[in-house]
């Protein structure tokens, strides 16, 4: 019910803010890469690991029956049917370079922790550097620092500001570059902010008109999805599919339909 959604939303915010405090208190002048993942440009820092460990401790203490899926430490199933989906630092490359667009993303989903099948119940995206905090609970609306937010009225694509992002692997980037080259002349402009979670919050508050990306992971999407939905966005895939790790399109409904159709024509959900 609404009471449980409110409890989960408040906890998501508490956990995300607490991880934000940890990251702010400990960012060294020069961040080092601790390891790389899918390619040599896909970094993990000690702070990604510390932030996720901190979030997992908080969840174990307050919600011992829930599952946890995190970027750095995988899936630990629970017994309640709910899973916390965590990105301890979304925008790790920005964190590494000191570009201020990175965030802690904490979502709670019902059902399988897979974007094509889950229902996101609550979420919080906490921008670490300026502290801006976006929250949403299913049926309760979307908020920035406690004040309600809403998407822009739908605009034609030609005057829409569109956010996107790129994967870390070369083959994927070749397709993404080709799609971007075709799209760029048809939109107001493109933004590559470097944190998908913040991109989705930007659509929710109207500082972007739309976002699309191929290859997002569940933890990039969970909290941002409910924040965007509750602010009036449609969150969808291409060709009638739900949003998935293959492709997500997030925008006011009319814009989402036009953008999804164009991306389908461009084969944006295929690999070369």
The reply, when asked if residue 209 is annotated as ligand binding, is no
Cβ closest to ligand IPD, residue 87 vs residue 209: 87
Per the CB < 8 A criterion, the answer to whether 97 and 81 are in contact is no
**Cα–Cα distance measured from residue 226 to residue 230, given in angstroms and rounded to the nearest whole number:** 6
Cβ nearer to ligand IPD, comparing 115 with 165:
165
Q: Which is nearer to ligand IPD, 136 or 196 (CB)?
A: 196
CA distance 125 to 89: 10
Judged by CB, which is closer to ligand IPD: 71, or 205? 71
Closest distance of CB 52 from ligand IPD, Å? 11
State the minimum distance, in angstroms, from the CB of residue 183 to ligand IPD. Answer: 15
What is the distance between the alpha carbons of residues 272 and 213, in angstroms, rounded to a whole number? 16
- Half-sphere exposure (Cβ direction) of 256: Cα atoms closer than 13 Å: 27
Question: Both tokens of residue 80?
Answer: 């309640």
Beta strand pairing call for 119-127 and 133-137? antiparallel
**Contact footprint for ligand IPD (CB under 6 A):** 71, 87, 90-92, 165-167, 194-196, 213, 216, 220
SS3 168: coil
Q: Which residues pair with 36 in a beta bridge?
A: 43
Position with the least CB separation from ligand IPD: 165
* Minimum distance of ligand IPD from residue 144's CB (angstroms): 19
Q: How far is the CB of 209 from ligand IPD (least distance, A)?
A: 17
Q: Binding site: residue ranges? A: 71, 87, 89-90, 220
């Amino acid at each position: 019910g609404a009471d449980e959604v409110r409890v989960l939303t408040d906890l998501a915010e508490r956990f995300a803010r607490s991880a934000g405090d940890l990251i702010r208190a400990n960012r060294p002048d020069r961040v080092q890469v601790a390891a790389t993942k899918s390619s040599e440009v896909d970094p993990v820092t000690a702070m990604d690991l510390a932030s996720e460990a901190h979030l997992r401790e908080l969840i174990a203490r307050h919600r011992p029956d829930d599952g946890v899926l995190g970027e750095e430490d995988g899936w630990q199933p629970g017994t309640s049917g709910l899973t916390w989906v965590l990105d301890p630092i979304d925008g790790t490359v920005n964190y590494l370079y000191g570009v201020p667009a990175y965030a802690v993303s904490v979502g709670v989903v019902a059902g399988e922790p897979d974007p094509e099948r889950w229902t996101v119940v609550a979420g919080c995206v906490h921008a670490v550097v300026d502290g801006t905090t976006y929250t949403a609970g299913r049926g309760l609306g979307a908020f920035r620092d406690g004040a309600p937010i809403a998407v822009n009225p739908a605009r034609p694509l030609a005057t829409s500001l569109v956010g996107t992002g790129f994967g870390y692997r070369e083959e994927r980037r070749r397709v993404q570059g080709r799609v971007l080259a075709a799209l760029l002349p048809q939109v107001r402009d493109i933004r590559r902010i470097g944190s998908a979670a913040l991109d989705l919050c930007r659509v929710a508050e109207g500082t972007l008109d739309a976002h699309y990306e191929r290859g997002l992971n569940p933890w990039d999407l969970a909290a941002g999805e409910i924040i965007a939905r509750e602010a009036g966005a449609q969150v969808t895939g291409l060709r009638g599919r739900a949003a998935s790790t293959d492709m997500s399109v997030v925008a006011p409904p009319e814009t989402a339909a036009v953008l999804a159709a164009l991306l389908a024509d461009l084969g944006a959900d295929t690999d070369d």
